[in-house]
Structure 1
Amino acid sequence: MTGQVMFDSHVAVLLEHAVSLVNALTAGEARGRPYPAPHGPDLLKAVEAAVSDTAGSLPRTLDPAEAAYLATTADAMRQVFQAMHDGDPDTAATTVNGLLRDTGARPRLDRAPATDRNGAPTDNPPWHLHFHGANDSFAAGHSASCATALALAVGGSLAGRLGVCHADRCDRVYVDTSRNAARQFCSTACQNRTKAAAFRARKGAGG
């Protein structure tokens, strides 16, 4: 990420977790098409897809109640992104405070599981900062971590880096880590779609 805005690395990962959950679990529009919120077995699949590449603590079998918990968290986190997009930091902060309260977020140092190249336990594994209790469920812990990352973003100098896609018929969210805060789209697909639409409009107008 040379030349880009650098959130703390752990916070940056958690913000991407938040983006993945919001985009996977909340209803709206995505890349020009309606995007219904997943339910039932589809919700379980959507949660697994959203966090499997980023959260090593994903349980082997995800409880439906935990998936529903994460869907509720995602709905609240969407409100944070939308509020910042709309220039309403007061609503964003109030929503984040609610998430912090409801998830029981609090900082805690825990030893990370550490193994050598052969998979054998090593002595004195390093301490890592977490934002939830050691015995919290996956959903509660993940929600608390994402809420804390959003709090650090909204309450810091990079609050304006939380965005909602500017493309027509898309409301997926993103975190802007570009150097000049120029990002406007959730994906390259939406950026290209917008450029193509502008080109067609100019061509139709004889430009």
Structure 2
Amino acid sequence: MTIDPWRITGQSEIDSYVGSRVELAVLLANRLTATSAHGRPVTPPSSGDERLAAISAGRAESGRPPGPLTSALTAADADRLAEVAAELRPMFGAGPRIVEAAAGLNRLLVRHGAVPNLHGDPDRPLVLAFHRPDAGLVDAWAADMGTALAMVIGVGQAARLGACQAGNCCLVFFDTTRNASRRFCDLSCQNRAKASAYRARRRA
């Protein structure tokens, strides 16, 4: 399977499932583990209720309002997902550390029982998921996100799992540009970095 047909080229979304799970990993890493964003320190949520609210708010802001699965999340699930997010974060911006990061990802896949599996309802087409049909919600999310990241890395596209290069920002992102040239989490950080570089040149 290749991630190429997804949004990177604008062709048929054969791998939209992979892309959506990578974006879910981005959301959880940013909402549950980030300690700085856009030049300012931030405090990650520390309680299950706060983490649950952060996940729901993040999905709503990304255009994915809470569905049945998100609504089924509990505060205890959110605490476990924060641990999963912390394990997934090293995949982003890994650079030469990718082999070490991948070893941690392999352990996560085993622990959460990742396995290719066809899921579907009687009146809907089958879809390929990466968790057992009987997996709990946290294991299902972890297996799906971990496998999606592994697939991106496994086709030589690890560079698309980016970390913001602006100062005082540890947000991560999935780079879907054609030439994998994205360096910042958003335009505000890009502008901050340009302004900082300009001031440095003026001082020099």
> Normalising by the residue count of structure 1, what TM-score does the alignment of the two structures yield?
0.83
Of 89, 101, 106, which residue of structure 2 is paired with 1:78? 89
Mapped partners of 1:132, 1:161: distance in 2 = 24
Mapped partners of 1:2, 1:97: distance in 2 = 26
Mapped partners of 1:155, 1:98: distance in 2 = 16
Letter in 1 for 2:161: L
Aligned-partner SS, 1:186: coil
Mapped partners of 1:42, 1:32: distance in 2 = 23
- CA deviation map 1:154-180 (0-9, x unaligned): 222212211111001111111111111
Q: Indicate if the aligned counterparts of 2:172 and 2:185 stay in contact, CA closer than 8 A.
A: yes
Mapped partners of 2:116, 2:72: distance in 1 = 27
Aligned Cα RMSD in Å?
2.3
Q: CA deviation at 1:188?
A: 1.2
* Residue aligning to 2:183: 184
Of 21, 28, 34, which residue of structure 2 is paired with 1:21? 28
| Percent identical residues | 39
Q: Indicate if the aligned counterparts of 1:21 and 1:51 stay in contact, CA closer than 8 A.
A: no
Q: Which has the larger radius of gyration?
A: 1
* Residue aligning to 1:166: 165
- CA deviation map 1:115-160 (0-9, x unaligned): xxxxxxxx64211111112232222211110001011112222122
Uncovered stretches (5+) of structure 1, i.e. residues with no partner:
113-122
Uncovered stretches (5+) of structure 2, i.e. residues with no partner:
1-6
> Normalising by the residue count of structure 2, what TM-score does the alignment of the two structures yield?
0.84
Mapped partners of 1:33, 1:108: distance in 2 = 42
Moved over 6 A (4+): 4-7
Q: Indicate if the aligned counterparts of 1:17 and 1:50 stay in contact, CA closer than 8 A.
A: no
Letter in 1 for 2:117: R
Of 16, 34, 45, which residue of structure 2 is paired with 1:38? 45
* Residue aligning to 2:136: 137
